[in-house]
Every structure is written in C-alpha cells, then in structure tokens.
C-alpha cells in the first residue's frame, strides 16, 4: 500500500465489513427468530474481529502517515486521511486484553442490571457498575486528555467537545430551564388524555408511513419495520432504514419515533454515494446526528404549522378518537410539559434535566468524586431538586436506563447538544427562507430538506461539528437559540 | 495453527463469514429497498474475498494435511478434516484470474440472457454462453476427472456422483417415463381449473403458515417471507428461513413452495448445533437436500392422506372457491400430469423429462458434441420427442431458465437425483412405521420428522450421499423406488 487509491480500497473494505455487521444487527433487532441469538452473536463477533484487525494493520498506519504529508492531495483527500489517521491511532491504543475484559464486564453488567431492575435492588448491579467505571477511568488514561478525564470519553461520541464546554452549556440549561419549567408547572395543565385511547395498530402504522413520506424520506433507499426499541441504521446512503414501536394505547409513541428516526435516516440518505466508505461519507458526530432527528421531531414535528397540514390526515384514520379534539388542542398536547420519572417519555424541555442529572453523575463517577454505592441516593436527590419529582423505586430511577450497563459513558450529553444544534440550525433555516413555515403548513418540506442536505448532510465529516455550525449559522454552538425557541413557544402556549 | 482446536476455530471463522453473506443475500431478496443493490453487491463481494483468502491460506492447508494423519482423532474429527481438506485442495486450484474472468463473464451473460429472453432472440445470448461453456470446459481440466469432464462439474454439487451413473439413471427414466407419461396423456384429463380462481393473498399466506406449522417447521428457529423467487436459506440450524411467492390467481404456487422450501429448511433445522461451522454441521449434497424438499412436497404433500387432514382447513379459508370440489378432486388436481413448456411449473412426472433434456444438452456442451449455435434447434427437437410439445418461442424454450446465464452447469441432475432419493427414503420410512400414513392423515407428521432427523439430518456430512442412502435404506440409490411409487399412484388415479 503506498497510494491514495490503496487507501480508498482499504478504507472501503473495512467499511463494507462494518456495514455487514449493521445488516446482521438490523436483522437481529427486527426479523431474527428467537433462537437465532447464539450464532448471530458469534457471526457478529467474528466480523468485528476482522474489522479490528484490518483497522490496526501496521501497513495501513504507515500509509496514512505517509499520505498525511502528501502535497498532491486536495483538501477533501487530506481530510479523509486526517480523520482516518486519528481513528487509527485511537484504535491502536486498545490492546486485546482491554477489549476482552471490556466485553466480559459488559456481558456480566447487562445481566446484573436486568436482574437488579427486575428486583428493584441496586446492590445486585453495584459491583459490576463499579468495575465498568474503573475500566472507563483506565480508558481515559489510555486515550489521554488535556484537562478532565471525561474529555477522553466525550471525544468518542462528540469529537473535540470538552467537558469544560459541556459544563458551560449545562450551567446555562440549569439557570434557564429549572425556573422556566417550575413556572410552567404552576400554569394550567394541558389535557393530553386523548392520546391514551385505543388506536388500531395497522392504522397507526399507515399514518407513520404517511409522516415519513411527508418528510421526503426515500422508501427506495430505506424502509420501516417494527422493533422493541425504535432505531435508525444504514448500510449505505442508498439503504438507510428506520424502525418504530406501536403502543395501541398511546398514539404519541409511534408518531415521535417515526419523525425522530426519520430525521436520523434523512441525514444518512443525504450523504454522497461517491464518498461511501470514507470519512467524508460519514456523519460528523452523535450530536450533529441527534440535531437532525431533533430538528424534525421538535422544531418541525411539534410545530403548529406541521399539524395544520397533518392533523386532518390523522383525523381520517381516527375520526372517533379525535372528534372533539381541535388542532390547537392537539398541538398543545404534543407539547405538554410535565416533569416525569422516565427520560425516554419526557417532553422537549424536562428532557434536558434528565440529561443534566446523568451528566453530573457520570462526570462525578469518572473523576471519582461520586461513589457507586451512593448513586441511588444522589439520583433521587437530584430528581427532587431539579425536577421536583420523588423517585418511588430504583427500578424507575437510577436503574431505568440500559446505557451504563452497556458501558456507555460520555454519550448522554450528545442528546442535549443535538437539541441545541437543532434549534440553532432551524433558526438559520427560517432566517434564510421566510416562507418555510408556510411551506410546512401545506405539507411541503422539500425546501427544508434541500437546505439540510446542502448545508449539513452532503459534507459528511468534511468539517468538525463546531466548524460546520460556524459555517452554517455564522457562530459556534450557542444555547440562546434553544432558549429563545423555548421561551417563544411555551410562553404563549402556557400564557406565562 | 497446529491443533485440532485451531482447526475448529478457523473453520468456524470462515463459516461465520459465509453465513453473514447469507444474511446479506436473504435481506437483498426479501427486504432491501430498490436502491440498495450497488453497495450491497460490494459488501457481499468484500466478504466473499475475505472468505476466499482465509479458505486458501497456506498454514490452514498445512494444518489440515498434518491433522489428516493424526491417530488421536476419532472418526467424526477425521471426517471433518477429510471434507475440509478436499474443499481446500479444490479451492486452491482456482487462481485469481479465473475467478475474475468467471465473475465478469457471468455478469455479462446475465444481462445478455435477460435481453435475449425479452426480445426472444437467442443470438444475443449466444456468444456469452459460448464463453461461459469454454470457461467451464477449462474448469473441468483444472479440477481433473477420471472418465468424463462433466464428472468434475457434478462433483461440485453432488460429490462422488459420476456422469456414468447419471447416464444409467436417465436411461431408466427415459425408458419408463416417456411411455408412462404418453399413456397418461391418452387418459381422461384431470380438471384442476379451480386452482385458478381468485384466492386472497392474506388468506393464502395464513394457510401457508399453517402448512409449515403442520410440518413441525420451528418458527422459533426460522421464519417465512415473500420474495420474487421462493428459496430457503440458513444462518445456523437455529435460524433457517424460507420464502414464498403468492399468485392471487393460482393457489398451487404458494402451497408447493411452502411445503418444498419447508422441507429444505427442516433439514437445516435438524443439523446439530454442536457441529455449527464444521462439515458435520452441513448438509451432504444438493441431491440429498432436494430429497428432503421433494419428500415433503411430493411423497407427503401430494398424498391423499395429507389432504384428508389439510383440505378441511383449506376449505375454511376459501369456502366459496372450493364449495364444489371434493377432497378426491383436490387430490387429483394436485397430481395432474400434463406435459408443458416451463420446468418450474411441471408436475412430478414430466418434471424429470425437463431435467433429462437439460442434462443431455449440458453433457453435449461440455464434451463439445453440441454447438451453442445449434441449441434452440436441439432444445425444440427434444421437447417434441420427449414431451410431445412444440416450443413456440426461444423465450419459452431454451432461454426460459436463469441457470446457464449464472454459469451453473452440473446442477440440474441433482433435482432428479433428489426426487429419487426422496422416493427411496419415504418407502423406507413407510416400511419402518406402518402407521405413518394414518399419522399423516390426522395431521401428525412428528414421527416422520423424527425419523428424518435421526436417519439423515443429524449426521451432516458424516457420510457421503451414497453411503447414507445405503445405511438408511439398505441399498444404494435405486430408480425402482421412484418407478414403483409413480406406477402405484398414477395407475389408479388415471385408471390406466
């Protein structure tokens, strides 16, 4: 290997294997018969090992190091090399021992977490979690960091973002959201009870497909299926899929999962075929990915304009259930703010307090200022303090989420970062197209999608998240866009 | 690598990759959105190359050669090594040039075949087919053979079977079937017109699932989906899937594809988990595989006993369509013999004359006694001579099948071999369980499946096809079982 074309071939080969793993996982989550698990796990593990071997091959590293100083390459080519080399150097830091230990700890932790949650007994999970955190602390040392060990974890999900910056953002969130939500809690409660009538599964499914089509999600390059937990995945920009879950006694779950996962998939469909397998053909970061799902879910999907168009369609499916519900009632119910226990069901404001709590705890665990044994106590205290909620059991509190048992630390903040980017991008889109809301209210989302493709999707990893944000909106990530959006929307809705 | 356990690990690794390719192909045929083709082809090609590289690795070959003389290994272990070594030595014979040339020729031939069929113009396909045949002739030389070059091709699908033996079998088929079918053609024609009414797709689907459940096909270790061409595939014995196709104006297509593919899948489900990835965990040959699908399709599924039980269920789905059709009428229609143009729709007797024609032509092409340019003429002449059919166009004649454009030669005879094995196995099963037909007529197929599992499925490649047949039935493949079965069944049905 000594030419840029060798790099292209090699990089695409690794990508082909990773995308094959994604197909195996998609099948596992959506179609695989019950007994398929054991050998499927083995097949995925084998492909992962091959991918890892190729990714850490010395002659690949030599090639990257040689090419990074090649003046004959253009900006895009050098950026590909640059991102690949960063990834290569990072992957090299993990030895086989670490990978094996991690894999064993996670397997064990998952079993323990599930049991602990079932029995409502945190102590069952405690030791496993402690070991996982020690492993992550060790990982921070392996990877290296400038100021805070948590930087090293963050960088895996949101490259270049620092704990210092996240601290600043969550300080702003705290200062604004806690009193704002308190104010809303004191206002008249919105009635959303009509969401919880019986809604036929097949009709819900059909309406969800309508919503995806309305977003210009391309069913020739994607599909939707059912799965236990909604997700989006992709095997190329020409095959980017979504899944949803349907609860016959709760209409909202299907709606928001369709629009949310649809937003993720539109990003993948908007990447360029010619960059398949290369950094320029990949999304930038989890935060930017989440910005695309949140933009469609919240800024578009929870807007009055969106339902001006879609509510009549919905009413045709569920005439009986919605007969006495006006579009304004519906819009309000979509945006009802109410502190609750479970993150995944939270509204778009209280959601960030859930993330805040997790972020503060994760940081404390990684810097060893919080002890695992104190977690339930700390969790419950923060829920009381930030959300005014009394946690009735650890199962519904500190044990509710699967993430920590999977060993995922540093991931949660990207959920919030994504929402902030979403508000900032959407503000810019409105600024550049004064008819945008009019278009949305007639079911025409095409100009919005074109804008997202042109400004964000097509670039892949050409720019860092922060540089892209600067390029698109004229400034770096700024909490004020979200704040302004929230004040505008909720002040009038709740007559604050 | 120097131990048997190294062999196990290595062999399973290759198998994991091959099974991953199978998942990618299943998805491609059943779920993949239209635009997914380009990158999916690339992903499959990458995994294939990796699998090929591993399969031809020199140190793997050295290990196999070392282990084949290891006295510490037991019969099963030595058989695994033996089969793996045979495969290894065969794979080694293909150099990269051959593989690339083959792949290019097949891609081109497929396009040309499709166009030729569409335009009803054989000359469009002629040159590509000629090149493919020259390649296969070269392949026969590469692989080596004892008596006839076609032996080398046969061996890839039906190991150890020789052209000499196939000649003998088809001579018997010719001598028996041609006059027998002529006799049937002169008898009173059976009315099967009720098959071609309108049958609702969803109800057909549900009945097909009932049939699979009735065969004890395990839906916890498999599933059924729709695809353009029905097939079965597997990713382990615990995930063996089938597909079907439903024509709303032809009930029979769905029924026979469900039962046929179900039979294939039962074989895969009956292999042993502990042998996953090893020769002992794989089916013996295409002929034995086909024997399992044919046994269920013809010997069970086209029996009076089978419909004694299932016809009442079917009538509940399609009361209106079947109101005037007795179970005896239905049974007869399922077994209607009538020479026709298209192999895939043929009945269980004329089917073998289609195969006979292809076999004679393939052999002639490989030994260069038939020229490609003469194919349409020869094809039509044989259809007239053996089936009494005048072929109206090359599209419905020599161009009807995709196989040759895929470069598959040596494959067709296994279809017939499979039916003969099926008749022989089923005769033995009846002999060993005198209540078998009674059981089938009450919907109980469990003892039959147990017998097949015990006698055939669980062994994998432990024995060669012929040795297994000898072990199970006391003699080698013998055409008389099929002949007797056919005479018994059709003499009374047609009052011959």
Quick one: average pLDDT of A478-488?
98
- Are B224 and B243 spatial neighbours (Cβ–Cβ below 8 Å)? yes
> What is the side-by-side order of every strand in the sheet holding A239-244?
A224-226, A239-244, A232-236
With contacts defined as CB-CB under 8 Å, which chain A residues touch B241?
33
**Comparing C-alpha atoms, which of A217, A310, A305 is closest to residue A264?**
A217
Query: What DSSP line would sit under B413-482, residue for residue?
Result: HHHHHHHHHHHHHHHHHHHH-TTHHHHHTTT--HHHHHHHHHHTGGGGGGS-HHHHHHHHHSSS--HHHH
Do A33 and B220 lie within an 8 Å CB cutoff? yes
- Cα(A433)–Cα(B170) distance, integer angstroms: 75
Nearest to B24 among A20, A34, A273 (CB): A20
Q: How far is A209 from chain B (nearest CA, A)?
A: 15
pLDDT at residue B227, rounded to an integer:
95
Quick one: average pLDDT of B344-352?
95
Q: CB within 8 A of A320, min separation 6: which ones?
A: none
Do B31 and A220 lie within an 8 Å CB cutoff? no
Sequence length of chain B is 496
Query: What DSSP line would sit under A177-204, residue for residue?
Result: HHHHHHHHHHSPPPP-GGGGS---HHHH
pLDDT at residue A454, rounded to an integer:
98
Do A23 and B19 lie within an 8 Å CB cutoff? no
- Are A142 and A97 spatial neighbours (Cβ–Cβ below 8 Å)? no
Tell how far CA A408 is from the center of its chain.
Answer: 13
Quick one: average pLDDT of A130-157?
96
Tokens of B110: 């497929």
pLDDT at residue B343, rounded to an integer:
94
Query: What DSSP line would sit under B258-325, residue for residue?
Result: HHHHHHHHHHHHHS-GGGTTSGGGS---HHHHHHHHHIIIIIITTSHHHHHHHHHHHHHH-HHHHTT-
- Cα(B349)–Cα(B347) distance, integer angstroms: 6
With contacts defined as CB-CB under 8 Å, which chain A residues touch B218?
35
The residue of chain B nearest to residue A236, with distances taken between CA atoms, is B39
Fold designation for A147-496: 1.10.1370
- Cα(A334)–Cα(A315) distance, integer angstroms: 15
Tokens of A448: 């919005």
- Cα(B170)–Cα(B234) distance, integer angstroms: 31
Q: Is the pLDDT of residue A99 over 90?
A: no
- Are B421 and B291 spatial neighbours (Cβ–Cβ below 8 Å)? yes
Q: Is the pLDDT of residue A462 over 90?
A: yes
Q: Is the pLDDT of residue A338 over 90?
A: yes
3-state secondary structure of B232: strand
Q: Per CATH, is B148-496 categorized as 1.10.3860.10?
A: no
- Cα(B244)–Cα(A214) distance, integer angstroms: 32
Do B19 and A236 lie within an 8 Å CB cutoff? no
Best of A12, A13, A16 to substitute, by most chain B Cβ atoms within 10 angstroms, is A16
Q: Is the pLDDT of residue A29 over 90?
A: yes
pLDDT at residue A228, rounded to an integer:
92
Q: Is the pLDDT of residue A468 over 90?
A: yes
Nearest to A238 among B12, B38, B219 (CB): B38
Quick one: average pLDDT of A449-476?
98
- Cα(B333)–Cα(B329) distance, integer angstroms: 6
Instruction: Work out the pLDDT band at B1, boundaries 50, 70, 90.
Output: confident
Nearest to A23 among B27, B273, B276 (CB): B27
Cα distances (angstroms) measured from residue B198 to each of A320, B311, B315, B320, B329: 34, 18, 14, 10, 18
Instruction: Work out the pLDDT band at B96, boundaries 50, 70, 90.
Output: confident
- Cα(A290)–Cα(A465) distance, integer angstroms: 12
Nearest to B239 among A36, A45, A273 (CB): A36
DSSP B240: E
Q: What is the pLDDT of residues B304-324, one digit of tens each?
A: 999 999 999 999 999 999 999
Q: Is the pLDDT of residue B99 over 90?
A: no
Cα distances (angstroms) measured from residue A190 to each of A284, A334, A347, A489: 38, 10, 13, 14
Do A239 and B32 lie within an 8 Å CB cutoff? yes
**Comparing C-alpha atoms, which of A173, A179, A102, A166 is closest to residue A134?**
A102
The three-point CA angle A290-A398-A401 to 5° equals 40
Q: What is the pLDDT of residues B113-164, one digit of tens each?
A: 999 999 999 999 999 999 999 999 999 999 999 999 999 999 999 998 999 9
With contacts defined as CB-CB under 8 Å, which chain A residues touch B17?
46-47, 50
Cα distances (angstroms) measured from residue B18 to each of A227, B55, B234, B243, B406: 26, 11, 10, 20, 19
3-state secondary structure of A225: strand
pLDDT at residue B10, rounded to an integer:
98
Q: What is the pLDDT of residues B446-484, one digit of tens each?
A: 999 999 999 999 999 999 999 999 999 999 999 999 999
- Cα(A347)–Cα(A210) distance, integer angstroms: 23
Tokens of B280: 């002992």
- Are A485 and A107 spatial neighbours (Cβ–Cβ below 8 Å)? no
Q: In chain B, what percentage of residues exceed pLDDT 70?
A: 100
**Comparing C-alpha atoms, which of B26, B80, B172 is closest to residue B484?**
B172
Beta bridge mates, B222 = none
What residues in chain B have their Cβ under 8 A from chain A's Cβ atoms?
12-13, 16-17, 19-20, 23-24, 26-27, 31-36, 38-40, 42-43, 45-47, 50, 218-223, 225, 235-236, 238-239, 241, 273, 276
Tokens of A100: 């094996």
pLDDT at residue A96, rounded to an integer:
83
Nearest to A276 among B23, B32, B39 (CB): B39
The two beta strands, B239-244 and B232-236, are antiparallel
Q: CB within 8 A of A468, min separation 6: which ones?
A: A284, A288, A456, A459
Q: Is the pLDDT of residue A1 over 90?
A: no
Q: How far is B195 from chain A (nearest CA, A)?
A: 31
With contacts defined as CB-CB under 8 Å, which chain B residues touch A234?
none
- Cα(A328)–Cα(A336) distance, integer angstroms: 12
Q: Is the pLDDT of residue A194 over 90?
A: yes
Beta bridge mates, A88 = none
**Comparing C-alpha atoms, which of B309, B226, B285 is closest to residue B261?**
B226
Q: Check B261, B297, B348, B362 and give the catalytic one.
A: B261
With contacts defined as CB-CB under 8 Å, which chain A residues touch B26?
27
pLDDT at residue B95, rounded to an integer:
87
Q: Check A165, A261, A268, A297 and give the catalytic one.
A: A261
Q: CB within 8 A of A279, min separation 6: which ones?
A: A79, A80, A83, A84, A460, A461
Longest dimension (CA), chain A: 70
Question: From the CB of residue A319, how many other CB atoms can be counted at a distance below 10 Å?
Answer: 9
Q: Is the pLDDT of residue B56 over 90?
A: yes
Instruction: Work out the pLDDT band at A368, boundaries 50, 70, 90.
Output: very high
Q: What is the pLDDT of residues B71-91, one digit of tens each?
A: 999 999 999 999 999 999 999
Quick one: average pLDDT of B397-403?
94
Tell how far CA A19 is from the center of its chain.
Answer: 19
Q: Where are the alpha helices (DSSP H) in A120-250?
A: 123-143, 149-157, 163-186, 201-214
With contacts defined as CB-CB under 8 Å, which chain A residues touch B45?
16
> What is the side-by-side order of every strand in the sheet holding B232-236?
B224-226, B239-244, B232-236
Q: What is the pLDDT of residues B221-256, one digit of tens each?
A: 999 999 999 999 999 999 999 999 999 999 999 999
Beta bridge mates, A232 = A242
Do B235 and A36 lie within an 8 Å CB cutoff? yes
Nearest to A46 among B13, B23, B40 (CB): B13
| Active site (annotated) includes residue B261 | yes
Domain ranges of chain B: 4-147, 148-496
With contacts defined as CB-CB under 8 Å, which chain B residues touch A39?
19, 235-236, 238-239, 276
3-state secondary structure of A242: strand
Q: Count how many pairs of residues, chain A against chain B, have C-beta atoms within 8 Å.
A: 117
Q: Is the pLDDT of residue A95 over 90?
A: no
pLDDT at residue A100, rounded to an integer:
86
Best of B14, B17, B19, B20 to substitute, by most chain A Cβ atoms within 10 angstroms, is B20
Burial of B8 (0-12, 13-18, 19+ CB in 10 A): middle
Ramachandran category for residue B387: left, alpha or beta (phi over 0 → left; psi -120 to 50 → alpha): alpha
Sequence length of chain A is 496
Do A20 and B16 lie within an 8 Å CB cutoff? no
Instruction: Work out the pLDDT band at A236, boundaries 50, 70, 90.
Output: very high
With contacts defined as CB-CB under 8 Å, which chain B residues touch A223?
31, 33
Burial of A249 (0-12, 13-18, 19+ CB in 10 A): exposed
Q: How far is A345 from chain B (nearest CA, A)?
A: 30
Q: CB within 8 A of A51, min separation 6: which ones?
A: A14, A17, A18, A21
Q: Is the pLDDT of residue A357 over 90?
A: yes
Do A16 and B46 lie within an 8 Å CB cutoff? yes
Tokens of B378: 């020869």
- Are A154 and A163 spatial neighbours (Cβ–Cβ below 8 Å)? yes
ipTM, 2 decimals? Answer: 0.94
- Are B485 and B428 spatial neighbours (Cβ–Cβ below 8 Å)? no
The two beta strands, A239-244 and A224-226, are parallel
């Amino acid at each position: 290997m000594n030419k840029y074309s060798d790099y292209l071939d090699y990089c695409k080969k690794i990508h082909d294997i990773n995308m094959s793993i994604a197909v195996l996982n998609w099948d596992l989550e959506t179609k695989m018969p019950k007994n398929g698990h054991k050998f499927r796990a083995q097949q995925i593990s084998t492909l992962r090992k091959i991918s890892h071997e190729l990714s850490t091959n010395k002659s690949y590293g030599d090639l990257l190091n040689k090419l990074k100083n090649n003046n004959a390459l253009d900006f895009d080519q050098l950026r590909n090399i640059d991102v690949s080399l960063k990834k290569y150097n990072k992957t090299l830091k993990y030895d086989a021992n670490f990978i094996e230990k991690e894999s064993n700890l996670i397997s064990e932790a998952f079993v323990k977490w599930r049991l602990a949650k079932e029995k409502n007994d945190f102590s069952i999970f405690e030791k496993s979690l402690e070991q996982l955190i020690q492993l992550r602390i060790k990982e921070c040392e392996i990877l290296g960091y400038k100021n805070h060990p948590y930087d090293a974890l963050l960088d895996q999900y949101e490259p270049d973002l620092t704990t210092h910056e996240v601290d600043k953002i969550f300080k702003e969130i705290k200062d604004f959201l806690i009193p704002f939500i308190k104010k809303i809690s004191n206002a008249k409660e919105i009635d959303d009870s009509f969401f919880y009538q019986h809604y036929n599964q097949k009709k819900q499914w059909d309406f969800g497909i309508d919503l995806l089509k309305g977003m210009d999600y391309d069913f020739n390059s994607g599909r939707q299926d059912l799965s236990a937990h909604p997700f989006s995945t992709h095997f190329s920009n020409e095959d980017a899929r979504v899944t949803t879950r349907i609860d016959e006694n709760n209409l909202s779950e299907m709606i928001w999962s369709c629009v949310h996962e649809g937003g993720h998939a539109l990003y993948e469909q908007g990447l360029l075929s010619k960059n398949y397998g290369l950094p320029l053909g990949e999304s930038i970061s989890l935060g930017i990915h989440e910005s695309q799902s949140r933009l469609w879910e919240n800024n578009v999907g929870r807007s009055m304009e969106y339902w001006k168009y879609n509510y009549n369609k919905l009413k045709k499916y569920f005439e009986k259930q919605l007969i006495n519900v006006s579009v304004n009632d519906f819009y309000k119910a979509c945006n009802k703010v109410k502190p609750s226990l479970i993150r995944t069901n939270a509204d778009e404001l209280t959601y960030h307090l859930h993330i805040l709590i997790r972020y503060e705890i994760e940081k404390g665990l990684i810097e060893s200022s919080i002890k695992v044994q104190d977690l339930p106590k700390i969790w419950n205290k923060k829920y009381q303090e930030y959300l005014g909620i009394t946690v009735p059991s650890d199962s519904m509190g500190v044990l509710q989420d699967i993430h920590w048992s999977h060993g995922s630390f540093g991931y949660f903040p990207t959920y919030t970062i994504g929402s902030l980017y979403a508000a900032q991008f959407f503000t810019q889109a409105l600024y550049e197209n004064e008819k945008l809301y009019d278009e949305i209210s007639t079911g025409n989302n095409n100009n919005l999608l074109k804008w997202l493709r042109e400004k964000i999707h097509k670039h892949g990893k050409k720019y860092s998240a922060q540089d892209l944000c600067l390029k698109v909106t004229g400034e770096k990530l700024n909490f004020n866009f979200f704040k302004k959006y929230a004040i505008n929307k909720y002040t009038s809705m709740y007559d604050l």
